[in-house]
Structure 1
Amino acid sequence: MGTKSWQITRREMLRGSGVALALPLLNGMRWAKAAEGAEPPKRMVVSYISYGVYEPQGDKGSHHDWSWWPCKDPGPLTFNKTTAPFEPLRDYVSYLRGLDHAGGYALGGHSSCDVFATGANMAGDETSNNISVDQLAAKRNGHKTRYPSLVMGSEGGTGSYGQSRTLSHYGPGRPIPALHRPQDIFNRLFQPYAGKSVNQVRAGLKREASVLDLMRENSRSLHGRLGREDQRKLDEYLDSIRALEQRVERTSEWTHQPLPQVDAKGLNLEASYQDPVEYLRCMYDLLYLALRTDSTRYASFMLESEFSTSNEVGKFATRVLGYSGQTHDIAHKRPAESGLWDNWRAQQHAYFLDRLRNTPEGDGNMLDQTVVLWGSAHPHQSHSTKNYPLQIAGGNTLGFRHGALHAFEGDKKVPLANLFVSMLNAVDAPTERFADSTGPLTEVLG
């Protein structure tokens, strides 16, 4: 893969000069800092595909060439037609069969996407979603980067109960709106001041901080005069104000640090739903750049929601395969194109993983330092909420071992949240319990 114009090395700057100079660490060199002795950052990405996957049965129980699962039996990976895009990444991917969230069982196949990254029991004790795995990591380490996390989704916003358009949640009842317009994402990451000078930005942040401080003091004065339920609601409101105060504080602090210099010439920031490949690859490129420039270390990306049939995202399969129905129908009506659809989605995700793998970092590459979960909250058939189709990739230097299909079935059944515990510990967000976890998922660790 060719070096981008914003990727500058000291060797390139000195080439042909005939002298040895101690160059300053320019913004464009920030990507190579880890290779020069500093410890590379540890990252986490959670990515989601909707409507489940294709799981046809082969003749006489053999494995089907177009099954989403690469092979039939647990053990070393072999790849079929659907999973062929991942074959060059064999040493960086593992498939996990039999994992799910018990908290999603009562939600129904599509609605269970709401708890994919949280494991919350929204149909039971928890009436609102809880914190997502990416946000728990961001809560522990998000202060180390300009942005605690990046939340993306092809449709944008939050959606509603049972029809989520975001994977990420701060905590009970606080979903994080997903960003879906490439130009907006680029501007937020790399041009956040919108043409204002740094002094203007700081002055505005100071005014905002004063207003928030006044709101907090006024609200606290009401607390003792309210009933218990109203006090609980007020406490949630005060927590929201404090979160805004923290965001203002961190934004103000980061105005003293130069923004990374990123050349957008190779990005089609005007990519639209009319060209799904161009759009998704631009989104993946933006995610890559956010991680590459260490603007953030934690991200989520919902490639489509489970309720996209009413919008242009629901027509992606029509545009890329010529399929005459909605994307939803490819999963549930099982037409001949189902395997091709899963293969197409695999191509897009493999593109992202390959970009990470092909970027040197420290003694390895970016994928070695980035653990990436990719999958769906229900399998293909019957809107089931059990046995999620899951792939875990990367994190090779963070303790993950790859190249196998693992089955967690029967007496080996454990919660998906066990994987989240392992992911969090791998990115230096020490965690003993997450949702209904019973411990780490040691089978995927080296």
Structure 2
Amino acid sequence: SEAPTRMAILFAGCGFYKNEWWAKSEGKDMQLGKVLAPLNDFRENMVFIRGLYNKEALKGNIHSSQTGNLLSGAPLASGGRIQSGTSVDQYVAQRIGHQTKIPSLVLGCEKPNAGVHKNYSLLYSSHISWSSPNTPTPLEVYPALAFDRLFNNEAQVGDRSVLDAVLGDAKDLRNNVSRLDQQKLDEYLNSVREVERRIESAGRRGELQGWRPTLAKPDMPRPKDGYPQDIVEHMRLMSDILVLAFQTDTTRVCTLKLNNDHGTLRFPHIGVDYMAHHLLSHNDNDDWLKVNQFFLEQMAYIARRMDAIKEGERTLLDNSMLMLCSSMITGHHDANQLPVVMLGSGGGRIKGGQNLDYLGKPDRQMSRLFLSMMDKMEVRPKIFGDAYKPLREV
């Protein structure tokens, strides 16, 4: 059987240099604006999407109100209250997550903000992944802990056998039943243990599925404890962990939040250390362009690594949907259209080299793209957010 399809969503806050976020032509003839230059090698594997928007995000016209529902299209509560919608990554994870060790991976490279800004909670600008309308999915910003979640069996209750999970209750029950019932209970527990052993053995032999991941154990060392002080190292570690999670089939759903939408990151490695990211975003200048390109380089790095991993006739990138987006097109809070670029073919079901423009067209909801992506993950709701039908081209 074929390798499974994976879905990864990268987020960069505060939009991009608008005049350099563009694509012309298609396929090998596609030309890209300077912001997208790091993706030049992937033009034939790319879907550039212009004109999608999140209608609910237009109501607040501020960072928090444009980010908290980016992946759900749901209305947001104001006044410091928390009310959004289940995000597309978690919607998918809640339906297919049982097939992998962990349902999803939610990574970040900047710690969440607290407080309220212009009547909206800053939790919105710090989280794109939501497990429920009232619950932002905990954001893992420590690379070592993200690594442990993937590969440290002792840390995961979900890795314990079904029998171990109920053994305590079974022992209590055994003390309160007849000898005959004790014998029946022992027989039942032994049968459960035997089934588990057979499943585990079959899994090792590859009998449970025709496809097996190309890597069974991590091929990178455990990152150092603590919060990285170097943003280059931080993003690289989280990118490697994302790729490793997909390659080992530890999860098939991941979000990577490169920064907060109201973020304070600085970038001394490219000579932009005089102003925090959020403030810098209000200026379309050369330094803002350099920062934009740095974020796109992270996507290119992930794509390059995934493209080098063979999975049968395809690569890991072929078997994935890797999307990068922001909650506004520019740092001036313009959310009438959202910047979106995708790499990968979703298991051979998405045509690469496309340049799509929905601006000015009806039914240009961002949630239509999510319906298309969910379809490739074998999750097919009739409605998601404010969308009733997927994008035909994706």
TM range (shorter): 0.7 to 0.9
How many residue pairs get aligned? The number is: 347
Please state if 1:139 is matched with 2:102.
no
Matches within 5 A, 1:198-347: 203=164, 260-265=216-221, 268-269=223-224, 272-309=227-264, 314-315=265-266, 317-347=267-297
Q: Partner of 2:8 in structure 1?
A: 45
Structural RMSD (CA): 3.2
Q: Partner of 2:118 in structure 1?
A: none
Contact kept in structure 2, 1:370 and 1:394, CA below 8 Å:
yes
SS of 1:443 mapped into structure 2: coil
CA distance in 1, matches of 2:370, 2:102: 22
Displacement of 1:180 in angstroms is 0.9
- Note the alpha carbon deviations across 1:295-328, whole angstroms, 9 max, x for none: 111111111111222xxxx22x234333311111
AA at the equivalent of 2:123: Q
Please state if 1:163 is matched with 2:123.
yes
Contact kept in structure 1, 2:4 and 2:347, CA below 8 Å:
no
Q: Partner of 1:236 in structure 2?
A: none
Contact kept in structure 1, 2:281 and 2:332, CA below 8 Å:
no
Q: Partner of 1:8 in structure 2?
A: none
Contact kept in structure 1, 2:141 and 2:227, CA below 8 Å:
no
Displacement of 1:398 in angstroms is 4.1
Q: Partner of 2:314 in structure 1?
A: 364
Question: So what's the TM-score if we normalise by structure 1?
Answer: 0.70
AA at the equivalent of 1:261: K
AA at the equivalent of 2:141: H
Which one of 370, 373, 376 corresponds to residue 323 of structure 2?
373
> In the superposition, relative to structure 1, how do residues 157 and 54 fare at CA in structure 2: closer, same or farther (>3 Å)?
closer
**Higher alpha-carbon deviation: 40-49 or 148-157:** 148-157
- Note the alpha carbon deviations across 1:265-284, whole angstroms, 9 max, x for none: 3x644585432222101101
> In the superposition, relative to structure 1, how do residues 162 and 391 fare at CA in structure 2: closer, same or farther (>3 Å)?
same
Q: Partner of 1:435 in structure 2?
A: 385
CA distance in 1, matches of 2:162, 2:16: 46
Q: Partner of 2:104 in structure 1?
A: 149
Which one of 148, 171, 182 corresponds to residue 187 of structure 1?
148
Which one of 73, 78, 81 corresponds to residue 31 of structure 2?
78
Q: Partner of 1:224 in structure 2?
A: none
> In the superposition, relative to structure 1, how do residues 411 and 68 fare at CA in structure 2: closer, same or farther (>3 Å)?
closer
Displacement of 1:261 in angstroms is 2.4
Which one of 122, 135, 140 corresponds to residue 174 of structure 1?
135
AA at the equivalent of 1:133: V
Q: Partner of 1:243 in structure 2?
A: none
Which one of 381, 385, 394 corresponds to residue 335 of structure 2?
385
Q: Partner of 1:20 in structure 2?
A: none
CA distance in 2, matches of 1:366, 1:159: 37
AA at the equivalent of 1:380: T
Where do 5+ consecutive residues of structure 2 fail to align? 116-120, 172-195, 205-214
Q: Partner of 1:241 in structure 2?
A: none
Contact kept in structure 1, 2:112 and 2:123, CA below 8 Å:
no
Question: So what's the TM-score if we normalise by structure 2?
Answer: 0.79
CA distance in 1, matches of 2:111, 2:165: 27
Displacement of 1:405 in angstroms is 2.2
Please state if 1:120 is matched with 2:71.
no
Contact kept in structure 1, 2:6 and 2:346, CA below 8 Å:
no
Displacement of 1:371 in angstroms is 0.8
- Note the alpha carbon deviations across 1:247-273, whole angstroms, 9 max, x for none: xxxxxx8996789422433x6445854
